[in-house]
Amino acid sequence: MTQLVQNLNLALELSQEIVRLAGEKRWSDMDELDRQRMQILESIFADPEMRTGHGDFEDQLEQIVALNNQAMAICTEAREGVIQDGKRLKLGKEAVNAYLKQSYD
């Protein structure tokens, strides 16, 4: 098994793990694995075997892209949830402040 194939397999495994961690909202763990995956992906695309086109790597690359899109969707949804929570907290704080102001007047 060539180094390129090993790296592709590892990048795919890391992508699967990143999606799992995103689903569990384990952001810091996910971030660390993403850094590792980025280094591996850089080595994949720098590999002469990848540039010559010898070998069929398209399926694995498509899987990696699909998993990345899935992780991004999970993160986007979580971010939107945090934004909505922040808006509710701000509204609640404003209501409490208005009540306190009214109580002291």
pTM: 0.76
The pLDDT score that the predictor gives to residue 76 is: 92
pLDDT the model gives residue 35: 96
* Better-scored residue on pLDDT, 46 or 98: 46
Higher-confidence residue of 75 and 85: namely 75
Concatenate the DSSP letters of all residues of 39-74 into one string.
HHHHHHHH-HHHHHT-S--HHHHHHHHHHHHHHHHH
In 3D, which of 73, 46, 43, 41 has the Cα closest to residue 60?
A: 41
> End-to-end distance of the chain based on CA atoms, in angstroms?
78
Q: What is the pLDDT of residues 83-105, one digit of tens each?
A: 776 777 777 777 777 777 777 76
Average pLDDT over residues 38-49: 92
